[in-house]
């Protein structure tokens, strides 16, 4: 059965840690960091389960429970698990029956997974909601195989070295100095990957996602996302569906299909490799999607874009913007891109961009 979960908590590190445990159990994991974001998501999307923190930036998670109770949303019957450090045993005794579970922070991840499993086991069997199903293009081209530009052992070493370097420095300006912004066509891939790593790491630092595990995901995603186009930098530069559409008549059918499917092809290739951390495949799969449904290949909107993917998409878009515009400024970037880098996780990322300078 298709499952979608919403994590609501104002602590970014906590959400990030929970995300790692929850994402493998469901099809889509959404996150909200405050009451407004949570309500916006609850109004629009049917969730299988909601994980709710009580203390939300001086507001109360109970507001969200009340909202669900009193309004017509697709979540009237959605079970809620409360996660909080400020719950008394009286509260637990009193409200036990109202919620699918109450976990007192800090709790071990195993306890959370156990609770989630319990809730899922009780769900009535029902049909997959079609409108929220993410279409997988994976199997449309099972016969396509591409040799990657890196051997896995070399890549592991490379990632380790890059991580050390990035950890020491998170200011975008100094990071950019370390990557030559070489705008010549044959250097595109190298400049693109190097800059993407640095910009992703700089955004992560501003979002206070400082764990090495997180940065590592971005380094892997940067190296591998255009894997299927490694030998075709000319095609890798086609970074929006609008551009691809415009060039359609000048491309062979095969080139057109490779561009359209390269995110899925790369995601599928790496899904069999144990060394790659979780989430990287989703970041790769979504690296050309946009919040306003104009990306490719799935044209999914911001509701389906994960927090890690959103950072990667912003970093990816900014990287190409810098490569394409020698006179780039963050302000111009925000102005030109705010309509497609919008919604849910994008809002917060776009807000920290001006601080990157």
Residues that bind Fe ion (CB under 5 A): 226
| CB closer to Fe ion, 115 vs 285 | 285
Phi, psi (rounded to 5 degrees) for 298: -95, -10
For tokens 């890196």, what's the residue? 150
* Least separation in angstroms between CB 103 and Fe ion: 39
Cβ 284 to Fe ion, closest distance in Å?
8
Nearest residue by C-beta to Fe ion? 226
Residue 30 vs 226, nearer CB to Fe ion: 226
Supply the DSSP string of 236-251, one letter for each residue: HT--SHHHHHHHGGGS
Cα separation, 286 vs 311, in Å, equals: 11
Q: Is 334 exposed, middle or buried (0-12, 13-18, 19+ CB in 10 A)?
A: middle
- CB nearer Fe ion, residue 113 or residue 141: 141
Give the residue with the Cβ less far from Fe ion, 216 or 226. 226
CB of 5 to Fe ion, least distance (A): 28
Provide, rounded to whole angstroms, the least separation between the CB of residue 143 and Fe ion. Answer: 21
DSSP state letter for 49: E
Nearest residue to 171 via CA among 197, 203, 193: 203
Is the previous residue joined to 106 through a cis bond, with omega within 30 degrees of 0? Answer: yes
Determine the distance from the C-alpha atom of residue 337 to the mean position of all C-alpha atoms in its chain, rounded to a whole number. 18
Least Å distance between CB 121 and Fe ion? 39
Shortest gap between Cβ of 188 and Fe ion (angstroms)?
9
Q: Report the residue number, 226 or 261, with the smaller CB distance to Fe ion.
A: 226
Measured in whole angstroms, how far is the alpha carbon of residue 327 from the centre of its chain? 29
* Nearest to Fe ion of 10, 226 (CB atom): 226
Structure tokens at 232: 């075709």
The residues, any chain, with a CB within 8 Å of residue 311's CB and separated by 6 or more, are 200, 203, 204, 207, 209, 218, 345, 349
């Amino acid at each position: 059965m298709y499952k979608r979960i919403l994590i609501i908590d104002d602590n970014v590190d906590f959400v990030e840690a929970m995300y790692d445990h929850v994402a493998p159990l469901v099809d889509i994991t959404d996150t909200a960091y405050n009451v407004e974001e949570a309500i916006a998501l609850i109004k629009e999307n049917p969730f299988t389960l909601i994980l709710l923190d009580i203390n939300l930036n001086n507001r109360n998670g109970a507001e969200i429970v009340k909202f669900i109770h009193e309004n017509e949303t697709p979540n009237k019957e959605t079970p809620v698990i409360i996660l909080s450090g400020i719950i008394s045993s009286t509260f637990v005794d009193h409200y036990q029956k109202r919620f699918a579970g109450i976990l007192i922070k800090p709790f071990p991840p195993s306890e959370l997974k156990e609770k989630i499993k319990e809730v899922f086991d009780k769900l009535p069997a029902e049909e997959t909601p079609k409108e929220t199903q993410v279409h997988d293009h994976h199997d449309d081209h099972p016969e396509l195989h591409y040799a990657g530009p890196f051997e896995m052992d070399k890549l592991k070493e490379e990632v380790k070295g890059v991580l050390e370097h990035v950890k020491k420095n998170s200011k975008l300006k100094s990071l950019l100095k370390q990557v030559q912004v070489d705008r010549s066509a044959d250097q595109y891939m190298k400049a693109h990957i190097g800059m993407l790593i640095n910009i992703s790491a700089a955004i992560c630092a501003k979002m206070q996602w400082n764990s090495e595990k997180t940065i590592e995901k971005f380094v892997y995603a940067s190296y591998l996302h255009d894997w299927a186009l490694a030998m075709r930098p000319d095609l890798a530069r086609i970074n929006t569906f609008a551009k691809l559409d415009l060039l359609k008549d000048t491309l062979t059918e095969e080139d057109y299909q490779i561009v359209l499917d390269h995110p899925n092809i790369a995601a599928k290739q790496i899904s069999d490799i144990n060394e790659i951390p979780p989430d990287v495949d989703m970041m790769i799969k979504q690296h050309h999607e946009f919040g306003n449904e104009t990306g490719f290949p799935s044209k999914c909107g911001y509701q389906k874009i994960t927090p890690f993917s959103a950072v990667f998409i912003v970093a990816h878009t900014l990287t190409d913007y810098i490569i394409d515009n020698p006179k780039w400024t963050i302000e111009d970037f925000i102005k030109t891109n705010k309509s497609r880098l919008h919604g849910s996780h994008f809002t917060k990322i776009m807000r920290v961009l001006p601080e990157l300078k």
